[in-house]
Amino acid sequence: LLGDDGVSRPTIFAEMSALATSRGAINLGQGFPDEDGPAEVLDAARRAISDGLNQYPPGRGMPVLRDAIAEHQARFYGLAYDPDTEVLVTAGATEAIAASILALTEAGDEVVTFEPFYDEYGAIAALAGATHVTVPLRAPAFQPDLDELRAAVSDRTRIILINSPHNPTGTVLGREALELIVELAHAHDALIVTDEVYEHLTFGVPHIPIASLPGARERTVSISSGGKTFNTTGWKIGWLTAPAEIVDAIVAVKQFLTYVNGAPFQPAIAAGLRLPDAYFRQIAGVLQGKRDLLAAGLTRAGFRVSSPQGGYFVIADAAPLGYPDAAELCRRLPDLAGVVGVPVSAFVRTERAREYASLIRFAYCKKLELLEGASAGLVRLG
Residue 144, contacted partner among ligand PMP, ligand GLN, none, CB below 5-8 A by kind? none
Measured CA to CA, the distance from residue 323 to residue 199 in angstroms comes to: 33
Residue 301, contacted partner among ligand PMP, ligand GLN, none, CB below 5-8 A by kind? none
Under the binding rule (CB under 6 A), the answer on residue 61 touching ligand PMP is no
Residue 30, contacted partner among ligand PMP, ligand GLN, none, CB below 5-8 A by kind? ligand GLN
Measured CA to CA, the distance from residue 104 to residue 125 in angstroms comes to: 11
Q: Binding to ligand PMP (CB under 6 A): which residues in 126-185?
A: 163, 167
> Facing residues of 202 across strands?
310
Q: Determine which residue in the list 194, 233, 266, 306 makes contact with ligand PMP, applying CB under 6 A.
A: 233
The amino acid at residue 150 is R
Residue 266, contacted partner among ligand GLN, ligand PMP, none, CB below 5-8 A by kind? none
CB closer to ligand PMP out of 273 and 337 = 273
Spatial CB neighbours of 341, under 8 Å, sequence gap ≥ 6: 16, 28, 29, 316, 330, 333, 360, 361, 362
What is the number of H-type helices and E-type strands within the chain?
A: 13, 13
Which candidate, 87, 30, 37, 42, places its Cα nearest to that of 61?
A: 87
The amino acid at residue 134 is T
Segment near ligand PMP (CB under 6 A); pick from 44-52, 225-233, 286-294, 372-380 = 225-233
Q: Determine which residue in the list 29, 122, 238, 334 makes contact with ligand PMP, applying CB under 6 A.
A: 238
CB closer to ligand GLN out of 81 and 312 = 312
Q: Is 67 exposed, middle or buried (0-12, 13-18, 19+ CB in 10 A)?
A: middle
Nearest distance in Å: CB 22, ligand GLN: 17
Measured CA to CA, the distance from residue 131 to residue 111 in angstroms comes to: 6
Nearest distance in Å: CB 20, ligand GLN: 12
Under the binding rule (CB under 6 A), the answer on residue 266 touching ligand PMP is no
Q: Which residues bind ligand PMP (CB under 6 A)?
A: 31, 92-94, 118, 163, 167, 195, 197, 225, 227, 233, 236, 238
